[in-house]
């Protein structure tokens, strides 16, 4: 029975297990349509997602704009009040001091035909007296009424008023047109950045600078590149006597610098800044003769008297020219502390500041570098003794800033530095005042 | 030119309609035959086939390649068919069927019948017997696997299978009489 069953099942499996029946064409049409719908639904979902993203962006933009204008209005109110009070104080005969953050209530005395202004102050404010004879507020439509001037944040040291001038009551007609608060909807971008800058005089930032570096050797030393064949060297000629004439001349090279900056706006237009920078300079390469001693040690023939190895070989007097040239470059590393004073030409979203000042450059390292170092040179390439530990330079720059967020500023600053004293020491046959021209890129955070 | 199965799968995962169509053409005949075995009407089978391939295209990114693609698709078709039939199974609850005594006589060979005839015989079985017969005799599942799949007892699966077998044999005899084969 079991055997028969199995046979029965196997027969059915063989008959139908691998059967194929071609389905009607409409099945694929339906599947195709459904897949297309799925695809469209996916696109729709994606579209909805992007719509929400766009809506969120618009909402953020609108919210940001509203906040921007709200802040602008409140700060402008303060500015206008400031301007008003200053103008009042100019026209008054005596001054009274008003405490910061007061709520002023101007009571108009109808009987006396002149308005008595009194200021009700908060508990921490000084009591205020107002010169009644001057504090007239001609406001016919509001005679006998009370005009409330709300929440004008005033700084005590800046605020001295004698009285409320009639002009102050007849706002906004007495205001300059560009300060008129009633012109809602009129952009007052001229004030916004000024307020930000005025309220954030301290800043810190980072910068990176790159440019050219001219060591200025040629100007003060007057030496030239003199090759051995020009002065009649032969392989057996006296190298020690002639070596100083074969010193290489280095042309201008590159400079890079980077560091931290801090600054403070001490007045509306004047900025003081300093910082700490790491600077690396390199001169252009110059050719120098290769010489060898009796032990086949190779030396580059430099003018460095601080090169003890070369000096020893020269004193041994058994040097011979190899007939090859090697390219040498001077490299310097300095820590620089600049001290700059800047005059703000433009202080808006984009600002321009003219800077000038002095910088102290503290030598970290200086050395000669042989390009490729053919065969390995036995020179002592440190040139520390040939250069001063410190040199000072005059600096000037034009700083272009862009306030891309509330506190963040992007800076671009072409700069020029000229050494005021020689950066070479007395042991260096060259006397040189380097200069460099560069472009600095930086970011700044305004506190 | 035959396109490599891996390429087809890759194309389907990327949503390439041409690859999807080629995959469908490659496997639809076999899968349609399965659908027909598990359903009563052609329209139902087409629906099962359509739904199954939609699932295949949506889920192909999850295909692990542990088993051949054809087995993976086949499982989807069978599960889809079972889901479609499940409501009918609830309408006609499966109960144990007493062992049916086969009438004495000559046992007919399945190979004596055409595929259409065999299909027709399977379709004519009661829904529950039809499914269990397909799963056990043709797909090769064990009774305990079927019981688990359909959430029935092993005994029910066995008795339903016996019933299916009995009915099929009866149908085969009737067919042979009708065609003068016996």
- Say if CB A206 and CB A442 are below 8 A apart: yes
Which pTM does this prediction carry? Answer: 0.40
**Between A and B, how many residue pairs show a Cβ–Cβ distance under 8 A?**
84
Q: How far is A52 from chain B (nearest CA, A)?
A: 26
Of A123 and B172, the one with more pLDDT: B172
Indicate whether A111 pLDDT > 60: no
ipTM above 0.95, yes or no: no
pLDDT at A180: 53
CA distances (Å), origin B166, targets B114, B159, B179: 19, 10, 20
Element (H, E) at B91: helix B69-91
Lowest mean pLDDT among A25-39, A150-164, A335-349, B104-118: A150-164
Average pLDDT of the segment spanning B21-48: 93
What is the percent of chain A where pLDDT is above 70?
62
Cα torsion A300, A303, A304, A309: sign: positive
Confidence of residue A349 (pLDDT cuts 50, 70, 90): confident
Cross-strand pairs, A205: A261, A444
A222: alpha, beta or left, given left = phi > 0 and alpha = psi -120 to 50?
left
Average pLDDT of the segment spanning A367-383: 76
pLDDT at A221: 41
Buried/exposed code over A197-229 (b: 16+ C-beta within 10 A; e: otherwise): beeeeebebbbebebebbbbbbeebebeebebe
Of A126 and A6, the one with more pLDDT: A6
Q: How far is B125 from chain A (nearest CA, A)?
A: 15
Backbone angles phi, psi at A350, to 5 degrees: -100, 130
**pLDDT averaged over every residue in chain A:** 72
Lowest mean pLDDT among A103-107, A370-374, B41-45, B94-98: A103-107
Give the separation between CA A340 and CA B19, rounded to whole angstroms. 70
- 93-122 in chain A: CB under 8 A from chain B: none
> Is the previous residue joined to A113 through a cis bond, with omega within 30 degrees of 0?
no
Q: Which residues of B touch A11 (CB under 8 A)?
A: 109-111
Q: Would you call A25 an interface residue with chain B, using a CB distance cutoff of 8 Å?
A: no
Flag if A28 and B24 touch (Cβ within 8 Å).
yes
Q: Which residues of A touch B163 (CB under 8 A)?
A: none
Residue among A395, A337, A394 nearest A362 (CA): A337
pLDDT digits (tens, 9 = 90+) for B124-163: 898 888 999 999 999 999 999 998 888 888 988 898 898 8
Lowest mean pLDDT among A17-31, A207-221, A343-357, B125-139: A207-221
Q: Which of B25, B53, B111 sits opposite A15 (nearest CB)?
A: B111
Half-sphere exposure of A22 (CA within 13 A, CB side): 2
Give the separation between CA B132 and CA A165, rounded to whole angstroms. 103
Q: Which residues of B touch A26 (CB under 8 A)?
A: 46
pLDDT at A85: 57
Q: Would you call B109 an interface residue with chain A, using a CB distance cutoff of 8 Å?
A: yes
pLDDT digits (tens, 9 = 90+) for A291-325: 877 777 788 877 777 777 777 777 777 777 777 77
Give the separation between CA A233 and CA A236, rounded to whole angstroms. 8
CA distances (Å), origin B106, targets B47, B118, B173, B174, B181: 39, 18, 9, 12, 11
pLDDT at A87: 57
Confidence of residue A280 (pLDDT cuts 50, 70, 90): very high
Give the separation between CA B168 and CA B137, rounded to whole angstroms. 12
Indicate whether B92 pLDDT > 80: no
Q: Which residues of A touch B54 (CB under 8 A)?
A: 31, 34-35, 38
- Chain B interface, mutation test: which of A5, A21, A22, A27, most B Cβ atoms within 10 Å? A21
Average pLDDT of the segment spanning B68-73: 92
């Amino acid at each position: 029975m079991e055997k028969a069953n199995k046979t029965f099942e196997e027969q059915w499996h063989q008959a139908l297990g691998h059967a194929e029946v071609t389905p009607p064409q409409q099945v694929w049409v339906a599947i195709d349509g459904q897949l297309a719908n799925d695809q469209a639904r996916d696109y729709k979902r994606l579209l909805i997602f992007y719509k929400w993203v766009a809506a969120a962006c618009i909402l953020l933009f609108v919210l940001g704009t509203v906040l921007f204008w709200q802040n602008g209005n409140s700060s402008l109110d303060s500015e206008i009040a400031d301007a008003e009070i200053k103008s009042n104080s100019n026209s008054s005969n005596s001054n009274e001091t008003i405490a910061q953050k007061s709520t002023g209530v101007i009571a108009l005395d109808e009987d006396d035909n002149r308005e008595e202004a009194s200021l009700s102050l908060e508990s921490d404010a000084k009591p205020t007296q107002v010169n009644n004879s001057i504090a007239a507020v001609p406001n016919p439509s509001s005679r006998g009424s009370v005009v409330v001037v709300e929440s004008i944040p005033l700084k005590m040291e800046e605020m001295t008023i004698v009285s409320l001038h009639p002009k102050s009551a007849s706002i906004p007609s007495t205001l300059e047109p560009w300060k008129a608060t009633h012109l809602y909807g009129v952009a007052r971008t001229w004030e916004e950045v000024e307020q930000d800058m005025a309220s954030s005089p301290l800043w810190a930032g980072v910068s990176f600078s790159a440019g050219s570096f001219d060591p200025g050797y040629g100007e003060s030393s007057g030496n030239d590149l003199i090759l051995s064949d020009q002065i009649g060297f032969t392989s057996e000629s006296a190298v020690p006597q002639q070596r100083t004439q074969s010193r290489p001349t280095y042309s201008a090279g590159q400079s890079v610098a980077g560091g931290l900056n801090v600054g403070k706006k001490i007045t509306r237009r004047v900025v003081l800044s300093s910082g700490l920078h790491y600077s690396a300079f390199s001169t252009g390469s110059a050719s120098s003769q290769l010489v060898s001693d009796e032990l086949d040690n190779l030396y580059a023939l430099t003018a460095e008297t601080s090169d003890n190895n070369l000096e020893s070989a020269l004193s041994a007097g058994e040097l011979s020219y190899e007939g090859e040239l090697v390219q040498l470059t001077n490299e310097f590393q300095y820590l620089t502390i600049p001290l700059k004073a800047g005059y703000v030409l433009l202080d808006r979203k984009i600002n321009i500041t003219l800077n000038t000042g002095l910088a102290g450059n503290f030598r970290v390292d200086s050395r000669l570098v042989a390009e490729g170092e053919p065969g390995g040179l036995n020179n002592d390439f440190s040139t520390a003794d040939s250069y001063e530990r410190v040199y000072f330079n005059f600096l000037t720059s034009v700083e272009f800033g862009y306030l891309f967020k509330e506190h963040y500023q992007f800076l671009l600053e072409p700069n020029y530095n000229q050494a005021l004293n020689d950066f070479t020491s007395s042991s260096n046959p060259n006397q040189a005042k380097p200069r460099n021209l560069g472009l600095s890129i930086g970011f700044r955070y305004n506190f | 030119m035959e396109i490599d199965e891996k390429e087809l799968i890759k194309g389907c995962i990327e949503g390439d309609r041409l690859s999807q169509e080629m995959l469908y053409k490659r496997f639809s005949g076999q899968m349609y035959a399965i659908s027909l075995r598990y359903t009563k009407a052609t329209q139902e089978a087409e629906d099962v086939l359509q739904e199954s391939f939609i699932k295949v295209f949506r889920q192909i990114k999850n295909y692990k390649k542990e088993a051949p693609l054809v087995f993976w698709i086949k499982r989807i078709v069978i599960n889809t068919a079972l889901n479609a039939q499940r409501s009918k199974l609830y309408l006609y609850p499966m109960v144990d069927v007493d062992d049916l005594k086969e009438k004495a006589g000559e046992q007919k060979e399945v190979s004596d019948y055409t595929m259409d005839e065999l299909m027709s015989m399977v379709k004519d079985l009661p829904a529950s017997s039809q499914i269990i017969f397909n799963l056990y005799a043709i797909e090769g599942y064990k009774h305990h696997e079927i019981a688990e799949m359909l959430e029935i007892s092993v005994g029910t699966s066995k008795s339903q299978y016996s019933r299916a077998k009995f009915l099929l044999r009866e149908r085969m005899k009737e067919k042979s009489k009708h065609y003068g084969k016996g």
